[in-house]
Amino acid sequence: MMSPVEQALVLLSMGVLMIGMGTTLDWAAFRNISQQPKKLVMGLSIQFGIMPLLAWFLAIQMSLSPEAALALILVGCTPGGTSSNMYTWFAKGDVPLSLTMTMFSNIMAVMLMPILVTFYGSNLPLGDLVIPWVQIMGSLFFVLLPVGFGILLKARGVRHLLRIQQGGAVLGMLAVLLMLSTWLPSLVDKIMNEYSPEYLAVILLGNCGFLVGYVLVRITGFPARIARTISLETGLQNTLLTFTIMTLSFSTAFVDQVGWVPLMYGACVMAMGIFWTLLFRRLAKNEIETGHGNVSTDAEPSLR
């Protein structure tokens, strides 16, 4: 459904977005996190343990087509996106932890995502469709190279890093809007009728990610601030990365059939993320008022 020019624009947008993400990463914060790695390990375990399992479970329980199920599993196996950092800041979460999770999850995805997609996808009746795990790994490595370039730019003190970050965010949003405008007009009726299970599965996956991420972290004894951070990092998947991987690794027919799944997730989860962020922000305010909060005061907006 997308022309070669549109696909090229998406890939270009993805590259600039990843460069922008790289320029936000702070090695000093990573060193601090590494001194107390339990929360990072907890977050990554939920990211790559719970989300793929939730996606597979929803696909099976809702009897999705094999292609739609595989697309949903791809979303579940995708690492967190940069939007989680902004949401975490607004929700009074641990921003250094969010940034660290974003970086490590994207790096670890090069190995883990092909393994997880193959593991869960092997249980689907895919017929002649073969999961191209080698291509997935290569695609991830290719699209993550700009992150390293962004880190290098920041390390060398290149000027106008904020403009690069803002430009990446804008291009990423424009890429999503371009893809949605390409798919949605012809899919509205199908989404509301024959694709309604897939649409519902997308909504459930995002909300379950937020909820399960928060609850699991809290019941294992971590502070609410850490739970808010891991919850948002878990639910806000980098769906532009998902679509890029699909474009680079799978056939055009597969992308045309179910490429809308990660795009719909990306569109829906932004709205869902706002709801969860406002809820977490309210909880953070209650923590402050009751004297039980452990919230950061570093350049964060007032709760009032």
Q: What is the pLDDT of residue 299?
A: 40
Q: What is the pLDDT of residue 188?
A: 60
Q: What is the pTM of this model?
A: 0.78
Q: What is the pLDDT of residue 221?
A: 92
Note whether 125 and 66 are within 8 A (CB). yes
Does residue 11 come out as left (phi exceeding 0), alpha (psi in the -120 to 50 range) or beta?
alpha
Each residue's pLDDT tens digit, 169-221: 666 666 666 666 665 665 565 555 556 788 889 999 999 999 999 999 999 99
Asked whether the CA dihedral 90, 93, 96, 101 is positive or negative, the reply is negative
CA distance 30 to 25: 8
Each residue's pLDDT tens digit, 91-122: 888 888 887 888 788 888 888 888 999 899 88
The yes/no answer on whether domain 4-290 falls in CATH 1.20.1530.20 is yes
Between 36 and 224, residue with greater pLDDT? 224
Q: Count Cβ atoms below 10 Å from residue 202 Cβ, excluding itself.
A: 29
Between 130 and 51, residue with greater pLDDT? 51
Whether the per-residue pLDDT at 269 is higher than 80: the answer is yes
Burial of 122 (0-12, 13-18, 19+ CB in 10 A): exposed
Note whether 161 and 154 are within 8 A (CB). yes
Does residue 124 come out as left (phi exceeding 0), alpha (psi in the -120 to 50 range) or beta?
beta
